[in-house]
Amino acid sequence: MIQFIEAIFENLNTWGFAALTLIIGVIEFSLGLYGKNWNRNEKLLDLVCYALPRLVTRPLVAYFGLKFLPYLLPHGKDALTWVPFFWGFVIICIYDDLTQYWYHRLHHEIPWLWRFHRTHHSAPYMGMSMASRQNVIYTIFFSQTYLTTILVYLGLGYPALFAKGIKSLITKMAHSSIKWDKPFYEKKWLQPIAWVMERVISTPATHHAHHADTTDDGVGYYKGNFGNMFFFWDMLFGTALITRQYPKSYGISHYEGDEWYAQFLWPLLKSSVPGSELAASGPMVRADVKASDERFDSEKEEPDLPLETNPIEQRLIT
Amino acid sequence: MKLEKEVKDRMIRNILLSLFIYALPILLMFLYFYLTGQKPWIK
């Protein structure tokens, strides 16, 4: 039985999740869950970001684990194999996910980091297609990947196999446009499970709120809900919002389809969209465009305040 | 563009709490070994 479970996780971590992402993505697309927003530019960006971790990041992390760490810590290999499975599993779960929580949160709260994470938020839809969508710099410096690789090198490879598998499953399903958590909120007998679940792990409701193009409107909350595997980091640090509702629209309110290569390779390549955060002379953080601002645009009138001087609706908490 | 003081203060508080959380599983593990008399690193 244990060997069977081991085999499942080994396969998931090697090729299984890539295949699962593809299958769920096709289902989402077939159900029309990407709407009309999945144009050529978004498709290319999603596709490149889906392929990059497999073609570049994994070999890089493998080099780090197989060549660099033996050089840096020659006596460290398997030094912690004595750690019992349970404790190894707990250590990996906490170290990996708490590190990612901070990596993610800092990219939202520190203005100069925002543009490295913006690519993940520019998608005007949720789903498997955008789950891996990241700027190349953000992907390469994914801090928790290197931390977990160090722990694996030190001897926690076996518990890491399961922790990483469970984490991937939770984070992928939190990005899915299939609202699988909805029955938990609607069926009375499932509500006690929902109460615990939404406080412990990321769900579509809480993570979709993080990807909303609005914030502080009672549903959208890109100022928080930073957790990936565990949502209880948000509960603990006061960055959580649980509403059991899903945003009406996703992405960035002022997004105008920056070229896929600029989103992928910024700051090496810049966007040609005037005023974009990724343009050569663009602002570090641009303020949100509210629905009322869009109305002004359509009526060819100027809003009362220039967009970049309205501090209330700044994209970041600044 | 600077961080607001409130955000900065919350971040510092949360980082300090995080350092404790990083230490927690290791402290609990050794407390468990102490209470049960186990010394798995000797094997």
| Residues contacting residue A134 through CB under 8 Å, at least 6 positions apart | A49, A117, A119, A120
Q: What is the pLDDT of residues A20-50, one digit of tens each?
A: 999 999 999 999 998 888 999 999 999 999 9
Question: Does residue B20 sit at the A interface (CB-CB below 8 Å)?
Answer: no
Tokens of A35: 């709407």
Strands (DSSP E) along chain A, which ranges? none
Helix (H) or strand (E) holding A165: helix A157-175
Q: Which of B1, B21, B26 minimises the CB distance to A284?
A: B1
Q: Give A56's pLDDT tier (boundaries 50, 70, 90).
A: confident
Question: Does residue B35 sit at the A interface (CB-CB below 8 Å)?
Answer: no
The confidence score (pLDDT) of residue A55 equals 86
Instruction: Tell me the average pLDDT of chain A.
Output: 90
Running DSSP on this structure, what letter comes out for residue A288? Answer: P
The confidence score (pLDDT) of residue A315 equals 56
Question: Does residue A63 sit at the B interface (CB-CB below 8 Å)?
Answer: no
Chain centre to alpha carbon of residue A274 = 27
ipTM above 0.90, yes or no: yes
Question: Does residue A102 sit at the B interface (CB-CB below 8 Å)?
Answer: yes
Query: Kindly report the CA angle at A18 between A139 and A207, in degrees rounded to 5?
Result: 60
Read out DSSP for A21-87? HHHHHHHHHHTTTTTT---HHHHHHHHHHHHHIIIIIHHHHHHIIIIIHHHH-TTTTTTTTTS-HHH
Find which of B6, B7, B13 to mutate to test the A interface (most A CBs within 10 Å of its CB).
B7
B17–A83 CB contact, under 8 Å: no
| Chain B residue with the nearest C-alpha to that of A86 | B29
The confidence score (pLDDT) of residue A1 equals 86
Q: What is the pLDDT of residues A80-101, one digit of tens each?
A: 999 999 999 999 999 999 999 9
Q: What is the pLDDT of residues A172-217, one digit of tens each?
A: 999 999 999 999 999 999 999 999 999 999 999 999 999 999 988 8
Secondary structure percentages of chain B, helix, strand, coil, to 5: 80, 0, 20
> What is the pLDDT averaged over residues A243-256?
95
Find which of B8, B12, B14 to mutate to test the A interface (most A CBs within 10 Å of its CB).
B14
A83–B29 CB contact, under 8 Å: yes
B22–A82 CB contact, under 8 Å: no
The confidence score (pLDDT) of residue A112 equals 93
Query: Kindly report the CA angle at A138 between A278 and A240, in degrees rounded to 5?
Result: 95
Q: What is the pLDDT of residues B1-43, one digit of tens each?
A: 677 889 999 999 999 999 999 999 999 999 999 999 999 999 7
Give the residue carrying structure tokens 């990947």: A145
CA nearest to A135, candidates A153, A157, A119, A158: A119
Which region, left, alpha or beta, applies to residue A155 given φ > 0 means left and ψ of -120 to 50 means alpha? left
B40–A83 CB contact, under 8 Å: yes
| Residues contacting residue A269 through CB under 8 Å, at least 6 positions apart | A259, A261, A262
Which residues in A lie closer than 8 A to residue B2 (C-beta atoms)?
318
Rounded CA Rg of chain B: 18
Q: Which of A237, A285, A318 minimises the CB distance to B14?
A: A237
The confidence score (pLDDT) of residue B43 equals 75
A110–B2 CB contact, under 8 Å: no
Scan residues 267-296 of A and list those with Cβ closer than 8 Å to B.
284-285
Report whether pLDDT(A105) > 50: yes
B1–A238 CB contact, under 8 Å: no
Question: Does residue B1 sit at the A interface (CB-CB below 8 Å)?
Answer: yes
Question: Does residue B41 sit at the A interface (CB-CB below 8 Å)?
Answer: yes
The confidence score (pLDDT) of residue A58 equals 86
> What is the pLDDT averaged over residues A112-130?
97
Q: A134-169 as b/e, with b when 16 or more CB fall inside 10 Å?
A: bbbbbbeebebbbbbbbbbbbbbbbbbbbbbbbbbb
